Amino acid sequence: MKCSYCQQEIVRNLTIKELLFPLLIKSERCYLCQEKFKKITAPACPTCCKPGWTTRCEECQQWQAMYPRYDFCHQALFSYDEAFKKWIQQYKFLGDFRLKATFISEIQAYFSHKKGWLVCSIPLSDARFSQRGFNQVEAFLQAAGIKTQDLLEKDVDSTPQSDKNRQERLAAPQVFKATKAAANIKNKKVLLVDDVYTTGRTLFHAAEILQSYQPEKIQTFSLAR
């Protein structure tokens, strides 16, 4: 078995179940790669998981003032530190598609508590998809066996968020529109998924579009914050 990040062989004893049913052997990281990523733990903002806050952070207070009718709640797994930035660079920008499986165990554990939710990954524009060759969010969800719904599309090929400073990200215009499938989300729970939450602008734009279709609830999720 190879580590799902560094691709080095993992040497460990298999369980009896794994020996009898090899398909139960899940993708995993080696000990060194496990240690590289810092999981978000308390204290953290209760509405966006920003580390270091015991109450709603200033950013969330600003978003609440801008979207008073949106009872938002964002959850993330890891801190967006140098180790995670390095993983994003290798996976998303250098196109190492194997890394879609890096966080399968954590993703599956999180989604085990989201039964009945409609999951929608943040879409790429056609131009960006052609350039990259894959949607990095859709890919890590599919690797974890998470079924998704195409509720949004992105027609505008905007400058990547990673190339903008904070003020430019916050000032970015709306780039999403709903697909025909969005008509089916009334009174249903929708979970929007992105790879990283920095300012929150992308996810709030996405939620803004879907809110008009009267879902019961919209929440958001990312691997890192």
Does residue 55 share a domain with residue 91? yes
Average of per-residue pLDDT values in the chain: 92
Q: For the chain, how big is the Rg over CA atoms in Å?
A: 18
Read off the CATH number of the domain in which 150 is found: 3.40.50
Choice between 58 and 19, residue whose per-residue pLDDT is larger = 58
The boundaries of the domain holding residue 25 are: 1-36
Does residue 89 share a domain with residue 24? no
Does residue 22 share a domain with residue 72? no
Q: What is residue 156's predicted lDDT score, i.e. its pLDDT?
A: 80
The structure tokens 């691709």 sit at 7
Does residue 143 share a domain with residue 206? yes
Does residue 26 share a domain with residue 88? no
Does residue 199 share a domain with residue 99? yes
pLDDT range class, residue 221, cuts 50, 70, 90? very high
User: Residue 43: is the preceding peptide bond cis (ω within 30°)?
Assistant: yes
Does residue 121 share a domain with residue 19? no
SS3 sequence of 52-97: CCCCCCHHHHHHHHHCCCCCCCEEEEECCCHHHHHHHHHHHHCCCH
User: Which neighbouring-strand residues pair with 9?
Assistant: 2
Q: What is residue 163's predicted lDDT score, i.e. its pLDDT?
A: 67
Does residue 92 share a domain with residue 78? yes
Q: What is residue 178's predicted lDDT score, i.e. its pLDDT?
A: 98
pLDDT range class, residue 165, cuts 50, 70, 90? confident
Does residue 137 share a domain with residue 173? yes
Q: What is residue 18's predicted lDDT score, i.e. its pLDDT?
A: 53
Distance CA 135, CA 122 (A): 9
β 176-178/152-154 pair status: antiparallel
**Both tokens of residue 188?**
């249903």
Number of structural domains, the chain?
Answer: 2
Q: What is residue 13's predicted lDDT score, i.e. its pLDDT?
A: 66
Does residue 12 share a domain with residue 84? no
Q: What is residue 62's predicted lDDT score, i.e. its pLDDT?
A: 96
| H or E element, residue 189 | strand 189-196
**Both tokens of residue 129?**
């998809």
pTM for this entry? 0.91
pLDDT range class, residue 25, cuts 50, 70, 90? low
59-100 pLDDT per residue, tens: 999 999 999 999 999 999 999 999 999 999 999 999 999 999
Residue 17 has pLDDT above 70, yes or no: no
